Chain A
Amino acid sequence: MTPAPVPAAAGPPRWPRALLATHTAAIYLYLYAPIAVLVAFSFNRARQTAVWEGFTLSWYGELLHDDRLLRAARNSLLIAGLATALATLIGTMAALAFATPATPRARGRAITQVLLLLPVILPEVVIGAALLTLFGTLRLRLSLATVLIAHVVFSISYVALVVRARLAGLDPALAEAARDLGAGGWEVLRRVTLPLAAPGIAAGALLVFTLSIDDYVITSFVAGAGATTLPLHVYSLLKSGVTPEVNAVSTALLAVTVAPIVTAHRLLRREAGGPA
């Protein structure tokens, strides 16, 4: 085989740059165009929503007078706030359990790991149905409390996974140095491990907030009559028809979910120094 006249500039074989770049741009367009359209039309004056007739904020104004919507939003914020606090606490503790020096009893860790992964893996429909079965068996009335329980349960794992990844990325020498300098277990935790893990914990908390405020499937199983959350309310609106108000609510819900995730992403990335 005669060596082809390859230019000396070695490097991984390059695919046509322009083609790949165009494809990638198209992917980003696909990811963002539908959202952009939705947001844009929430400012559209027209009631017949596919035609642009001028800019208005009136749909947002109407939202502020919609009592059912406001009650649902209040419920959602309450649930998301409480779920975030509880799940972050429990999940962080579980992650810390993994950060202690490996002990011979690795089986406990393995089982805990599986237990923490299952809620992330199982379909939401299954989790919702199982919780409904539990509450039915216990004859618990479905209420905001049952929604809160459900949200905490499916969120713990996310916090544990994020915080654990953060802890695993830390230099074990730091905690070791503190211990060598005479710090007790509690002191090491409070003054070395937790401050170092803080960005991960904050990111986990923001994730929980996002998951909780947006959850529809599990909530739909365990929410009682008086316990409508924002996604449940929005869903019932979507089923009944598209109106400019729905676009406005959607944009608001989108903003509420995007803001925490952008923050979380920045938190986790700042110290990692660039991607992966």
Chain B
Amino acid sequence: MARHPRQNGGPAQPPDRLPAQPPDRPPAQPPDRPPAPARPRWRLGAAALALPAWLALGLFFLLPLVLMLGVSGSQRGVYGGLQPIPDLAAYLRSGAFLASYRQSLQGLYLGIAWRSLWMAALTTGVCLAIGFPAAYALALHAPRRRKGLLLGLVVVPLWSSFLIRTYAWMFILRTEGLLNHLLLGTGLISRPLPLLYTGGAVMAGLVYGELPFMILPLYAALERLDRSLLEAAADLGASRAAVLRRVTVPLALPGIAAGVVLVFIPSLGQFVVSDLLGGAHTMLLGNLIQNQFAVARNQPFGAALAFELTAAVLLLLAAGTHLARRASPGEAGGRPAGWELL
């Protein structure tokens, strides 16, 4: 993939075929067939090709977001719908459109947001801590012909049913589950431990679900790392730890940033894991939002929370991209590394 720098396709691409053309084109080309007319036709073609995606995403992705923004500024009606607003200007001036956002700053909800944040941070930290050595071993130690298989074995869980992978932990952790059964059998405990529906169960499920998202970009970064730099550092007398700290990690920083973003974001908006493994005790932001739409029928509040979550996600993404780009100024685009691994 290093052969084609275009792969990192940033927005500002140079007209990439230009350098190749001048040397052989002008003499060989008869003056009556200039390449120019092809361009405008292609440009139109590109717009037409992108049109269906624009229509679909515009109508069913952007428009819904705009509508939801409107809902987040409305107030809940008596029967669960939205209260009609007779005078929009007065409504805006009164600041009532911020009511749902103000509500989200109440202690109870701040607590849920805080729990979501630190659980996502902890998940990310654990994934990084156990994922980095594995990615390092895969990238630098694994035999070349085994790499494809080993990497595939990381990718497969990523795309296999998330629901079922979460359920597997229910099966293992519940009171009559496998783990308790084994522990009772060995005599380590005399009565089943309450393992399911705890914060620990949610953490186990979160790390389990997100770990491949960390390993893949780390692997991608470590794999393309120039080994001679590590050798040089070692030759110059750096200890193993010093090489790791001062050469390997800084060079892998784009992969680390990508992995952190790819793990943190889904963890922050998590819904299934906390619902199945945590129950009512470990409600996260995702559950709170779902609850407002499905159970509490307070759509304005749910919409406001959804936008706060979105804002947090976009901020994190911007920070991560910025970090990755600063770490590798040569690479344009800053697309999360590891995408090409699927």
Contact = CB atoms under 8 A, between A and B. Distances in A.
Interface of A: 1, 3-4, 6, 10-15, 17, 20-21, 23-24, 27-28, 30-32, 34-35, 37-38, 41, 48-51, 89-91, 93-94, 96-98, 100-103, 105-110, 112-113, 115-116, 118-119, 121-134, 136-137, 149-150, 152-153, 156, 160-162, 164-165, 168-169, 171-173, 176, 179, 185, 203, 207, 210, 214, 216-217, 220-221, 231, 234-235, 238-239, 242, 246-247, 250, 253-254, 256-258, 261-262, 264-265, 268-269, 272, 274-276
B34 interface: no
A12 B156 contact: no
Interface residues of B, number: 121
Closest 7 CB pairs of A and B: A123-B269, A110-B11, A130-B64, A34-B168, A12-B230, A94-B53, A134-B64
Contacts, number: 336
A171 B165 CA distance: 39
A176 B63 contact: no
B310 interface: yes
A156 B57 contact: yes
B148 A115 contact: no
Interface stretch (B43-51, B87-95, B106-114): B43-51
A258 B156 contact: yes
Tell me if B's interface is mostly helix, strand, loop or mixed.
helix
Residue picked from A27, A93, A150, A168, most chain B C-beta under 10 Å? A27
Given A94-B53, A112-B50, A214-B161, A20 B141 contact: yes
Interface in B256-287: 265-266, 268-269, 271-272, 276, 285-286
B168 A38 contact: yes
A116 B286 CA distance: 23
A207 B159 CA distance: 8
A24 B168 contact: no
Contact of A32 (B61, B141, B157): B157
A196 to B, nearest CB: 13
Contact of A38 (B52, B151, B164, B220): B164
Contacts of B219: 276
A97 B50 contact: yes
A129 B302 contact: yes
Given A94-B53, A265-B156, A133 B39 contact: no
Contacts of B134: 23-24, 27
A276 B309 contact: no
B319 to A, nearest CB: 13
Contact of A133 (B20, B71, B223, B238): B71
A257 B289 contact: no
Contact of B240 (A13, A30, A150, A247): A13
